[in-house]
Structures are given as structure tokens and as C-alpha cells.
Amino acid sequence: MNHFELFDITPVYALDLADLQLRYRKLQQAMHPDRFANASERDKLLAVQRTSQLNDAYHTLRDPLLRAEYIVSLRGVDMQHEQKTLQDPEFLMAQMAWRERVEELNVGDFAAIDEAFADLERETKLLQNTLEQQIEANANEEAADTIRKLKFMQKLGRELEALEDE
């Protein structure tokens, strides 16, 4: 049973997260291992396994990037084990520009860091919109490339946060 089937929802990128959370809570209550305290050891183990699967499914579906990766994997694109790199020269140039920008930021220059965060957020939203369109159109290989781009943007965001924390 895949994650969408577990929650009895259509496998789409644009999920109603409030509905997902409601379904999660209902399933969590029904599957919680405490409800099986007086059951056999086998049933207790199954309850723990189902709860683990439920938590993993919820974690995956509530995160837009993990959800997208999961959708394209259901469609036959193996994102976990592939070593494919992006062949988009324009994005590779943008990566280099971002790297230079982050390296040039000074610790304590909060205005420049905030500006970088704002630019990163704007570009990330554009990529997320593109990703949603690609998934809806079943353009799975293109979606996989966009996921790779978003992973880079996510990593940059973590680097900016670390710089801000310093």
C-alpha cells in the first residue's frame, strides 16, 4: 500500500494539508500500539509497524519536496539511487552565482543575508510552481530535474541559516 492509499487520498502534488493532518490523526488513533496492549505479541508488533509506516507516510506527504519525489518514484523514476546530475547549463551557472554570493556574505551582515533569503524564497516558489505543473502533466523526468534544483535551493537555505546563526 502506498502512502496515498494509506490515507485514502488521490496522488496529487497539491494536497489539502489540513485534510491530510485530520486523516493522520484518525489513523493514528486507530493504529496506536496502546490500543493493542492486551493483544498477542504478533498483533503488538504489527501495530508498531503500521504506526511507523503511518508516521513515515505522513512525514513524506506533508513535505512538498518529499511528496514530489515520492510521486515521481511511484511513476517509475528512481530518485533515491540515481546519480544523474543536472545538465541544465543555465541552472548550473545560477548555482555558481549562488555559491559566490553565499561565500561573499559576511557574518553579521543581516541585511545582505535577508536579501539573499528573499531572493532564494522567490526562486524556490517559481521552481515549486513549475514542479506542480510538471507533475500534473506527468512530465516525470522534467519533474525529477526540478526536484534536484529544489534540493540545491533547500541546501542553500540551510547554509544561509547557518551563516545567520553564526
Nearest Cα to Cα of residue 79 among 141, 6, 17, 127: 141
Q: At what angle do helices 140-165 and 64-74 cross, to 10 degrees?
A: 160
Tens of pLDDT, residue by residue over 1-58, are 899 999 999 999 999 999 999 999 999 988 877 777 777 888 778 878 888 999 999 9
Q: Which residues contact 61 (CB under 8 A, 6 or more apart)?
A: 3, 4, 7, 15, 20, 67, 70
CB 157, CB 120: distance < 8 Å: yes
CATH 1.20.1280 placement within the chain: 89-165
- The domain covering 3-62 belongs, at the CATH homologous superfamily level, to DnaJ domain (1.10.287.110)
More confident site: 128 or 1: 128
Tens of pLDDT, residue by residue over 72-118, are 999 999 876 555 666 788 888 999 999 999 988 887 788 898 999 99
CATH 1.10.287.110 placement within the chain: 3-62
What backbone torsions phi and psi does residue 80 show, to the nearest 5 degrees? -70, -40
Q: Which residues contact 104 (CB under 8 A, 6 or more apart)?
A: none
- Supply the pLDDT for residue 48: 83
CATH of 89-165, picked from 3.30.310, 3.20.20, 1.20.1280, 1.20.1260, is: 1.20.1280
Full-model pTM:
0.83
